Structure 1
Amino acid sequence: MSEERVEVRPRKVRRVAIPIAVALVLVFAVVATLLRNTPTGAVFSVSDQVAMGFLGVLLAGGVMLLTRPRLRADADGVEVRNIIGTQRYSWPLVQAVSFPDGAAWARLELPEDEYVPIMAIQAADGERAVTAMRRLRELRRAVGRHQGT
């Protein structure tokens, strides 16, 4: 069996999340800079300005978590990294790879009606998601044939 490997990351969410994260940092930096000069009579100190800038960085970091999902699959199994956490599943444990109608992303079907979302393969990516699903299913079939002999 040829040593095929499938690696997928979402594309459209990256195109949206990165500019939003940059905009958040810029907006909060401007607000932090202008915070001292308010006509409301409220008194803001340097620590308030720093906190406002830090808040922008935190929010941008939260948005950037959306770019984290990744799928890696090889002959040994599938590694799914979603927003929080990474899990590796061996092929014998995976009962199916599906993309339910109307779902935002694909999923691994596991025993006992459990499933794991694959946020790296998103419906928003259109044809790229279709290609990723085909490659993943082909790899699963190839591994199954190899293990069956």
Structure 2
Amino acid sequence: MTADVIEFRPKRIRVVAWVSAVFLVAVFTVVGLLLGDTPTGVIFRTSDQVAMVFLGVLLACGMLLLARPRVRADAEGVEVRNVVTVHRFAWPEVLHVSFPDGASWARLELPDDEYVSIMAVQAVDRDHAVAAVRALRDLHKAATT
């Protein structure tokens, strides 16, 4: 990454996502191991135990998707990677970088009353979010004036 490119990722949700993912795998592994011996008469096989651990891993992977958001910007434009989608916009396509009152994350205001949420810039990150919005606004201003 050069000095001309800025990149921001959420801070708190990444920690929560990783802790939750580890917790899910641990819990499902313990439950899977304990499935073999039940007083109810139900017979759990090794495949059931493996499936339980696999389910924990799948849920953990889903949780880690929350750690995926990123915003990367340079003089030409901005790339917003949210949980599933990736969008790239040239700065002339963007009207404003905003962070509406009460919103969970910042957004790019686009023509025709459309917008794209920037999940990498979250309100719970406070000063980090303020720095990200300011940096994005500075790049937008420099590119459009």
**TM-score past 0.5 threshold:** yes
Aligned to 1:84: 84
Aligned to 2:95: 95
1:4–1:139 contact (8 Å) kept in structure 2: no
Q: Across the two proteins, how many residue pairs are aligned to each other?
A: 143
1:25–1:53 contact (8 Å) kept in structure 2: yes
1:46 Cα shift?
1.1
Aligned to 2:11: 11
Structure 1 residue runs without a partner (length 5+): none
CA displacement, residues 93-129 of structure 1 (integer Å, 9 cap, x when unaligned): 1011000000000000011000000000000000110
Aligned to 1:115: 115
CA displacement, residues 32-73 of structure 1 (integer Å, 9 cap, x when unaligned): 111111111111111111110011001111110000000000
- Aligned partners of 2:140, 2:6: CA distance in 1, in Å? 10
1:17 Cα shift?
1.2
Aligned to 1:42: 42
2:94–2:109 contact (8 Å) kept in structure 1: yes
Q: Provide runs of 4+ in structure 1 moved above 3 Å.
A: none
1:21–1:64 contact (8 Å) kept in structure 2: yes
Tell me the SS of whatever aligns to 1:102.
coil
- Amino acid of the structure 2 residue aligned with 1:94: V
- Aligned partners of 1:40, 1:19: CA distance in 2, in Å? 33
Cα RMSD after superposing both structures: 0.9
CA displacement, residues 64-99 of structure 1 (integer Å, 9 cap, x when unaligned): 000000000001111000000111011111011000
Structure 2 residue runs without a partner (length 5+): none
- Aligned partners of 2:75, 2:40: CA distance in 1, in Å? 64
**Under a length normalisation based on structure 1, what TM-score does the superposition of the two structures give?**
0.93
**Under a length normalisation based on structure 2, what TM-score does the superposition of the two structures give?**
0.96
- Aligned partners of 1:69, 1:77: CA distance in 2, in Å? 17
Matched, 1:141 2:107: no
Aligned to 1:28: 28
